């Protein structure tokens, strides 16, 4: 809380006054969110004042700007942007303004691995007793995982 003391002189009488600034409050708190693995997620909250010192935390760890995380302040709006979500990003995130905090649970839904098996070639002339098959995963750039003979 900001406190300013000042002295007022009025007709040779002195008065001491304390001016107390209003505390910073959350006008809009963080909300729990669910997102898909690989997506971008934006957490935001609105404060009662602009230009407030804010710390973002994942659990008890203080977060810093990086390629994956962007911390933004726009007036009295505070944002944490998490790019390319991974399952490990699921956690409780907190916006800490000193004497008050707002937290949200982030849940990440993983993509299912769907295997696709198809016959690659029919090469009975060279391999009369075998057929070639390939197993691929559906949500990653179709890389062969396994080839069976």
Output the domain CATH number for residue 72: 2.60.40.10
Domain with 89, as residue range(s), is: 24-109
DSSP summary character for residue 50: S
The answer to whether residues 36 and 88 belong to one domain is yes
Contact yes or no for 108/85 (Cβ under 8 A): yes
Tens-place pLDDT, residues 4-46: 555 455 555 666 666 777 899 999 999 999 999 999 999 999 9
The answer to whether residues 58 and 97 belong to one domain is yes
The answer to whether residues 98 and 128 belong to one domain is no
CA distance 39 to 81: 11
Average pLDDT score over residue span 112-139? 56
- What mean pLDDT, rounded, does the chain reach? 80
Say what percent of the chain tops pLDDT 70: 62
The answer to whether residues 52 and 120 belong to one domain is no
Per-residue model confidence (pLDDT) at position 128:
58
Tens-place pLDDT, residues 38-65: 999 999 999 999 999 999 999 999 999 9
Joined tokens for residue 114: 């769907």
pTM: 0.65
The answer to whether residues 41 and 105 belong to one domain is yes
* Number of domains into which the chain is organized: 2
């Amino acid at each position: 809380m900001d406190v300013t003391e000042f002295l007022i002189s009025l007709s040779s009488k002195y008065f001491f006054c304390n001016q107390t600034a209003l505390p910073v409050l959350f006008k809009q708190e963080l909300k729990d969110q669910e997102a898909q693995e690989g997506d971008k997620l934006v957490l935001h909250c609105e404060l009662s004042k602009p230009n407030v010192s804010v710390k973002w935390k994942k659990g008890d760890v203080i977060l810093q700007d990086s390629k994956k995380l962007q911390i933004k302040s726009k007036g009295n709006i505070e944002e944490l942007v998490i790019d390319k979500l991974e399952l490990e990003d699921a956690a409780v995130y907190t916006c800490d303004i000193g004497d008050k905090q707002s937290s949200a649970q982030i849940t990440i839904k993983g993509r299912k691995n769907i295997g696709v098996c198809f016959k690659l070639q029919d090469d009975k002339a060279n391999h009369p007793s075998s057929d070639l098959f390939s197993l691929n995963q559906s949500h990653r750039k179709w890389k062969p995982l396994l080839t069976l003979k």
